[in-house]
């Protein structure tokens, strides 16, 4: 994957992540979600590995589905 392709993937992940529960912060080259309450820590879409970003999003959504589904 080229550097441009990787940046494109990171932007798509960030933009698709903004689902009404999170607000993506984009300024001065930063692309972050700082919803610590939801994820447990900020997501840095420019510095975290793509694997880390995908894992955090997946873990968050699975946890929310379990909570929302009443399976606790």
How far is it, in rounded angstroms, from Cα 67 to Cα 34? 21
Instruction: Summarize the confidence of residues 48-67 as an average pLDDT.
Output: 93
- pTM for the model: 0.83
- Percent of the chain scored above 70 by pLDDT? 93
Are 33 and 17 a contacting pair, CB within 8 Å? Answer: yes
Structural domain boundaries enclosing 13: 3-68
- Structural domain total, the chain: 1
């Amino acid at each position: 994957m080229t550097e441009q392709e990787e940046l494109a993937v990171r932007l798509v992940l960030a933009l698709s992540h903004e689902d009404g529960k999170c607000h993506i912060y984009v300024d001065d080259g930063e692309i972050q979600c700082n919803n610590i309450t939801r994820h447990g820590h900020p997501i840095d879409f420019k510095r975290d590995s793509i694997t880390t970003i995908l894992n955090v999003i997946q873990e968050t959504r699975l946890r929310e589905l379990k909570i929302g589904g009443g399976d606790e």
